[in-house]
Amino acid sequence: MRCYMPVVFDDTPWVRKDDLVVVHRLRTYYTIKPGFFAKPRYVRAVDDISLGIDRGITLAVVGESGSGKTTLGRTLIRLLDPVSGEVYFDGHDITHMKEEELKKIGFRRRVSMVFQDPYSSLNPFHSIHFILEEPLMVQGVSAEEREERVFKALEEVKLTPPEDFINKYPHMLSGGQRQRIAVARAIITNPDFIVADEPVSMLDASIRVEILTILKDIQQRHKMAFMYITHDISTAKYFSDYILIMYAGQFAEYGPFKDVVKNPLHPYAQSLIEAIPDPDPSNRLRERKVAPGEPPNLANPPSGCRFHPRCPYAMDICKRQEPPVIEARPGVFVKCWLYVKK
């Protein structure tokens, strides 16, 4: 627990300035040109997102397909450039840093990403040994130390004995084993910040838990800042401290994980949580009260609150004006007109 008053941004009071990763009013758009002479159009994939993640903390980023989760994650590790807003890493403003400057602060070593698809994220022509030692070679780590760290990483992801795996190629491994290699590769540089983008959504239930356990264990032991991107809140539950729910590229609700999941305030968050079944045979006897419809196209999002066409509580103002983010309960922030005091 912090024993001092955290310094926060005035306009985004849920973001502490001294967290390891700080994102302030970030916007990342894709440009699409329908034709050579046509005016370019923008897909507003991340549109005004602010968050902070400190060492030892896991933030779950949850939302439906196309809500901008991957775009957000990729912008944080500078695989995409934002159009506005700032990203800070360990006190450095990295928003527009050039690759050499990033190198100077050790950024590429200190952040990494685990991708959703264990089939396409590993190069099929490289051996496991090479896949794991490559990030270390880039940094000029000695051969001897590389060897040691490859073995250690394999042990961390429970691929033991490591000798049985280093000479294999990705296609010789099962989906679960491949995803463990992806995790080993992500941790081999001892990063401070990991973005895990749907790391288990392509895996079967029994393997999923094994990977989640490994991730949680590594995150806690190394006190990393961890961003867990998923559309499945129930897997996030097992290690997330905070949750950010995104809708159509925007902020919907943010707060302590348990608090938000138990008592969601944003109408979208309420639907999202109501939609998730627990294994319970009485489910078959009841209907789920969820919002109708599907998320909008982000090249042409609805006016006002982007959720208004699906929202059961939509009022006149929701259609006209974008809602502000309000602290609706201590520590829980919601972007919805229902919580704005008149």
Partner 1 sequence: MALLEVRNARLYYATTKGVVKAVDGISFELYEGETLAVVGESGSGKTTLGKLLTRVWERNVSVADGEIYLEGKEILHITEEEFRREIRWRKIAMVPQASMNALNPVIKIGDQMIEPLLMQGTSRDDALKMAMDALESVGLPRDLVNRYPHQLSGGMKQRVIIAMSIMAHPKVVILDEPTSALDVITQANIMNLLKKLKWEFKLSYIFVTHDLSLASELADSVAIMYAGKLVEIGGAEDIYGNPSHPYTQGLISSVPTLRVDKNLSFIPGEVPSLINPPAGCRFHPRCPFYRDRDYLKGLCDAKEPPMMELGSKAGRKHLVACWLYK
Ligand X SMILES: Nc1ncnc2c1ncn2[C@@H]1O[C@H](COP(=O)(O)OP(=O)(O)OP(=O)(O)O)[C@@H](O)[C@H]1O
Taking phi first (over 0 means left), then psi (-120 to 50 degrees means alpha), and beta for anything else, what does residue 148 get?
Answer: alpha
The side-by-side arrangement of strands in the sheet containing 111-114 is 111-114, 193-197, 225-230, 58-62, 242-247, 250-256, 332-335, 325-329
- Please say whether the beta carbons of 318 and 247 come within 8 A: no
70 in contact with Mg ion (CB under 5 A): yes
Cis omega (within 30 of 0) on the bond before 323? no
**Min separation Cβ 118 and partner 1, Å:** 13
172 in contact with partner 1 (CB under 8 A): no
Residue 85 or 295 with smaller CB distance to partner 1: 295
Question: Among 65, 142, 206, 282, which residue interacts with ligand X (rule: CB under 6 A)?
Answer: 65
d(C-alpha 311, C-alpha 289), whole Å: 12
Question: Among 234, 263, 300, 321, which residue interacts with partner 1 (rule: CB under 8 A)?
Answer: 234
Residue 103 or 216 with smaller CB distance to partner 1: 216
| Three-state DSSP state, 189 | coil
Question: What DSSP string describes 233-294?
Answer: HHHHTTT-SEEEEEETTEEEEEEEHHHHHHS--SHHHHHHHHTPPPS-GGGGGS------S-
Residue 53 has φ and ψ, to the nearest 5°, of -135, 125
**Min separation Cβ 304 and Mg ion, Å:** 26
| Three-state DSSP state, 142 | coil
280 in contact with partner 1 (CB under 8 A): yes
Computed over its alpha carbons, how large is the radius of gyration of the chain? 21
Question: Among 2, 98, 221, 284, which residue interacts with partner 1 (rule: CB under 8 A)?
Answer: 284
43 in contact with ligand X (CB under 6 A): yes
d(C-alpha 342, C-alpha 339), whole Å: 9
Question: Among 12, 14, 48, 63, which residue interacts with ligand X (rule: CB under 6 A)?
Answer: 63
Residue 277 has φ and ψ, to the nearest 5°, of -85, 140
- Bridge-based pairing of strands 41-53 and 225-230 is unpaired
Q: Which 306-325 residues touch ligand SF4, going by CB under 6 A?
A: 307-308, 311, 313-315, 318, 323
> Which partner, ligand X, ligand SF4, Mg ion, none, binds residue 276 by CB below 5 to 8 Å per kind?
none
**Min separation Cβ 28 and ligand SF4, Å:** 22
Question: What track of x and - describes contact with ligand X for positions 72 through 101 (by CB under 6 A)?
Answer: ------------------------------
Number of residues that bind partner 1 (CB under 8 A): 41
Residues near partner 1 (CB under 8 A)? 64-65, 174, 176, 204-210, 212-213, 231-235, 237-238, 261, 271-281, 283-284, 287-288, 290-292, 294-295
Residues near Mg ion (CB under 5 A)? 70
Residues near ligand X (CB under 6 A)? 30, 32, 43, 45, 63, 65-71, 231, 298
